[in-house]
Amino acid sequence: MNKIDLDRINYYLLLFFSFMLPLSRATDTIFSIYFSIYFFIYLIFNLKKTKIYKSNFFLITFIFILYTLLSLLWSSSNLKLGDATHYLQWFALFGVALFIKKEKSRVHNILTAFLLGMVVSEVLSYGMFFNLWKIHGLGAEEPTPFMMHIDYSIYIALAALILLNRLFSQKYSLKEKLIMSFFFITMSGNLFINGGRTGQLAFIIAIFAAFFLHFRVTLKNILIVLFFAASILTTAFYTSAQFNNRAKSALSDIDKLSKQNYESSWGQRVAMWKISPSIIKQNLIFGSGINSQKDVVSKFIDTQNPKYLSKYTKNFIKHNHLHNQFLQIVVELGVVGLILIFAIFYQISKFNIVIKEFKELKIIFLIIFIIGCLPEPLFLKQFTNALFILFVGLLFGLELNNKRQM
């Protein structure tokens, strides 16, 4: 198979994987494995030509992946190599990047393929919402076709903001913008008929970023975007029973917290955050090891038995993740791991991307993903981890293309 044929195959595969990203867990796994293998094969046959190791992002990310593997040495004895797979999959983003470096012109089509996959996903979601069909036994009560509502809300928020950013752009025709406007409205609606408050929060904040990437920061423009965001929230509150209930539930959670009652969605998160500093102090620098969080939390609950937590809350905390990606990292990988992950995000923010749309997308993606990491460990979840791999791979590929010597 010659070089041109291989590039064409990789292009069609990346189109397919991008389209299937929100639709299939199995395809996400194959995508990560394939482009990880592609990365290592590329290095073997182009070791003298490629200078990817000159990239600070590559070096820091590579060190972080190796560090997660090294942390198995001080993790619980029953842990295995497979416990670090969610970070091992990050090798795939280097594979995506190396392909995009050579095929920069393909990047818009790949992004559009992702949006088309999201359109299919939202059609299925609306069908569930209107009880036209059920998927995995779920219908209107949980209209998320293939993933948890929190993960799905991140996907919808990103897809909607990609469309909004294109609507603000001068690049697209009026006909294209009319089509994109329709799907922006339907995706915004889809976001609020689902229960993912994480994506909803990220969506509202990212709207401000998308707006001011295209328009000057003036009092008039601030009022315009405030009105726009408020209109979306008000419409959602009065038209979506799901969003209305979740908003009222949030107020109820806050009321319970004021009474030291942690038996609620927000309360359980606050309880986890409250006990975490004591756990972190035990292994401050290097952490307790990858995927050992449940073990150390259970041990802490059993030995310290915090009186302010009910039996139900203690049991919940012992059997769930910490509901914060950065907290999860500092417990498992210590301050070293936290510094490395912050450095990774910083390096992504520094990518020098020439294509205007993707330069803007870099900022929008970072805002949505970082906000999403505050209430949820997105790297531990297959769908959101795959989302990170695809989009950071695309952005890093454009960065490498801009620096030809790499």
Please give the Cα distance from 307 to 295 (Å, whole number).
Answer: 20
Residue 368 binned pLDDT confidence (cut-offs 50, 70, 90): very high
What interhelical angle do 197-212 and 219-239 show, nearest 10?
Answer: 150
In the block, tokens 């590559």 appear at: 58
The mean of the pLDDT values for the chain is: 90
pLDDT in tens, 206-248: 999 999 999 999 999 999 999 999 999 899 888 888 888 888 8
Please give the Cα distance from 315 to 327 (Å, whole number).
Answer: 19
In the block, tokens 């992002």 appear at: 57
Of the chain, the percentage scoring pLDDT greater than 70 comes to 96
| Top-ranked range on mean pLDDT: pick from 55-64, 71-80, 168-177, 195-204 | 55-64
**Widest CA span of the chain, in angstroms?**
68
Task: Tell me which residue of 247, 213, 251, 211 sits closest to 227, measured CA to CA.
Answer: 211
* 3-class state of residue 138 by DSSP: strand
* 3-class state of residue 135 by DSSP: strand
* 3-class state of residue 375 by DSSP: coil
In the block, tokens 């594979």 appear at: 95
Q: Please provide the DSSP assignment of 307-322 as one string.
A: TTS-HHHHHHHHTS--
User: Hey, what are 202's tokens?
Assistant: 């990220």
Of the chain, the percentage scoring pLDDT greater than 90 comes to 61
pTM equals 0.93
Average pLDDT over residues 351-377: 95
Instruction: Kindly tell me if the per-residue pLDDT of 4 is higher than 60.
Output: no
- Ranges of each domain in the chain: 3-50+89-246+350-402
Average pLDDT over residues 385-389: 97
pLDDT in tens, 237-287: 888 888 888 888 888 888 888 888 888 888 888 888 888 888 999 899 999
Instruction: Kindly tell me if the per-residue pLDDT of 1 is higher than 50.
Output: no
